Amino acid sequence: MEFQSILSAATGGHGLAVNPWASVAYLVAGVLFILALRGLSSPATAQAGNRFGMAGMLIAVVTTLLTHAPATADGLLDTIGLVEILVAIGIGAVIGIVMARRIAMTAMPQLVAAFHSLVGLAAVAVAAAAYLNPQAFGIADAAGEIFTVSRIEMGLGIAIGAITFSGSVIAFLKLNGNMSGSPIMLPGRHIINLGTLAAIIGLVAYFTFDQSPWIFWTVTGLSFLIGFLLIIPIGGADMPVVVSMLNSYSGWAAAAMGFTLGNTAMIITGALVGSSGAILSYIMCRAMNRSFISVIAGGFGADAGPSDGGSKEQRPWKPGSAEDAAFLMSQADTVIIVPGYGMAVAQAQHALREMADQLKKEGVTVKYAIHPVAGRMPGHMNVLLAEANVPYDEVFELEDINGEFAQADVAFVIGANDVTNPSAKTDKTSPIYGMPVLDVEKAKTVLFVKRSMGGVGYAGVDNDVFYMDQTMMLLGDAKKMADDIVKALSGSGH
């Protein structure tokens, strides 16, 4: 039997449409993706969620290969084309496995940004291929005229995909330290951005009436450009929102291309990623008391005067040592640990867990308080603590633990500045005013691990907690400080 006959039987005999069995397979894959999202909502079920997602993707890929295998003009299996596809999948799999094994957990935010850029670039490539050869994709008539609905899908897919790619590249460079994390303000940026976005929307609308190449490629070029322009002025403090926002964009780009390809799995997956990313962006914005539009406008903390080293007010503060910290915590009933990006940079999570284990041996109750936007991406601190095998039942979100600081003997803050800054509650001139913060200043004693007194958080504002009577500043590398505290706890006989 010719391969074309086999393919016709598998696809129902009408081009790209799939038969009921393929639809069922895609439905199963979609259910597994939903279960994956549900599993990833909790550290305790995250591994199972990942397995569901992997199984769903395997089913989707195998189904797509069976129903869209390449064929020659004679209706035979195009073995060369099939080998090329399998080689490409193999290369991608090897790269993914190597990266997953070698990447440090502290570098996970920039890895996520890099993945988003690849999703966006893939959407652009698919849209370009469909535009250049629409009849092969079944989206054009015999004369090569692309169907109107396909033009809409293609225009949206390539615009969102290009924005996702270029925006994710900038996010990666900022997160990886190749570009300054501070906002880069271009003169007249709002007018430029609005004008570019208006041009993209107008051209995508015009593309539904005229499929001329200049329209398609102009939309592509402007979309790449606006991705750069949107992310460059966004500062490091807004990076958690940016990462989740780009995640949402990548999902919608994939969904749009799913319609173009007639692939149910892509549509389901893209919609899930897009909607969950949008919801997460909303949660992140609410956690910082900022609107989505204000994040896109960029510049969080750019005008904060306290970060200017020369004009910073000199205020008295109380220095401390690892031995001091060990003594105070060993005498406490309850210690609440607040991790931040400083902990991630120093890779101090393992030393921190050892410190907590030492304290628990002495009967001290230890809890961890996580702010929703601590670190560089949503869940960054949770991932690092999970890597260090910190028990899940000791980790609490802001709304669940904030009321316990007033009863805590010690709040141990390690590299978390902006999310513990009380000026967010009192100073209306502060760039973080209105952002919910962890009430560490209510603890009887605050131990604050910080590299130096000269630096400030990403928002560019000083923290009043540094100068409070109950605060002891532990200056130095976060990992070394935690290691020294562990040694002090072990050697003191507590």
Q: Say whether 78 is catalytic.
A: no
Query: How many residues are recorded in the chain?
Result: 494
Residue 494 CA to residue 491 CA, distance in Å, equals 8
- Cα-atom radius of gyration of the chain, to the nearest Å? 26
Tokens of 60: 């989707």
Residue 185 CA to residue 196 CA, distance in Å, equals 17
Residue 2 CA to residue 18 CA, distance in Å, equals 19
Q: Which of 158, 130, 161 is nearest to 146 (CA)?
A: 130
Q: Which of 292, 283, 245, 248 is nearest to 373 (CA)?
A: 283
Burial class (CB in 10 A: 0-12, 13-18, 19+), 491: exposed
Residue 325, helix vs strand vs coil: helix
Which residue in 74, 324, 418, 483 is the catalytic one? 418
Burial class (CB in 10 A: 0-12, 13-18, 19+), 92: exposed
Residue 468 CA to residue 474 CA, distance in Å, equals 14
The b-or-e profile of 331-343 (16+ CB within 10 A means b, else e) is ebebbbbbbbbbb
Whether 153 contacts 261, CB under 8 Å? no
Placement of tokens 């400030």 in the chain: 456
What would the DSSP string read from start to end of 362-392? TT-EEEEEE-TT-SSSTTHHHHHHHHTT--G
Element (H, E) at 158: helix 148-175
Backbone angles phi, psi at 428, to 5 degrees: -70, -15
Residue 248 CA to residue 398 CA, distance in Å, equals 24
What would the DSSP string read from start to end of 8-68? HHHHTTSTTPPPHHHHHHHHHHHHHHHHHHHHTTSGGGHHHHHHHHHHHHHHHHHHHHHHS
Tell me the catalytic residues: 418
